[in-house]
Amino acid sequence: MAIMKSAASRFADSRGRHDHRRCVSKALHTADEVCAERGLNLTPTRKRVLELIWTRHAPIGAYDILSRLSKEGRQDAPPTVYRALSFLIGAGLIHRIDTLNAYLGCETPKHLHAAQFLVCRSCRAVTELGDPAIARLLAQRVKAAGFTADARDLEIKGLCDTCRGSADAT
């Protein structure tokens, strides 16, 4: 039950009820640490893409990132953004939310993990559960089925409390 309370508070966080600047600063600092520990090169472009993902603090598509970079006067091409996104995923700094064809900052990048996401089909808010027990059970079941998973993240689609409340009111 504690996980669900935490998830509910993170849905609220994704709607801007906290200090984004502090959150972005912490994410960038953590990214610097993670990359240094793993011997990875966090280039200025990769870092800026990560910053844009965290600034949004909600799932963001590659072309939205490209558009924001363009508004800054940068001439980055789509392959540059996709390479940066691929690096950030590989480094464990972001997640790709397949349901939304979008990207979201990882809340716990210091620990490589399979994550579970709650994806609101109405407002598109996403929260990461990151429950190790669920990840272990899923890995066991996948192995027992004789299956090799390309990705181990799990997306659970539904309605967040806010959208469910709005739907109930109508």
Q: DSSP secondary structure string, 70-132?
A: HHTT----HHHHHHHHHHHHHTTSEEEEGGGTEEEE-S-TTS----EEEEETTT--EEE---H
Q: Residue ranges per domain, the chain?
A: 2-169
Categorize the per-residue pLDDT at 169 as very low, low, confident or very high, splitting at 50, 70 and 90: low
**Cα distance between residue 33 and residue 7, in whole Å:** 26
**150: pLDDT strictly greater than 90:** no
**5: pLDDT strictly greater than 50:** no
**36: pLDDT strictly greater than 80:** yes
**17: pLDDT strictly greater than 80:** no
Could you read off the pLDDT of 55-91 as tens digits, one per residue? 987 899 999 999 999 999 888 888 999 999 999 999 9
Tokens 């089909």 — which residue?
A: 121
Could you read off the pLDDT of 62-71 as tens digits, one per residue? 999 999 999 9
**16: pLDDT strictly greater than 90:** no
Categorize the per-residue pLDDT at 159 as very low, low, confident or very high, splitting at 50, 70 and 90: very high
- The pLDDT, as a whole number, for residue 18 is 63
**4: pLDDT strictly greater than 80:** no
Q: Average per-residue pLDDT in the chain?
A: 86
Q: Would you state the CATH architecture of domain 2-169?
A: Orthogonal Bundle (1.10)
The average pLDDT across 157-164 equals 92
**8: pLDDT strictly greater than 80:** no
Residue 156 DSSP code: E
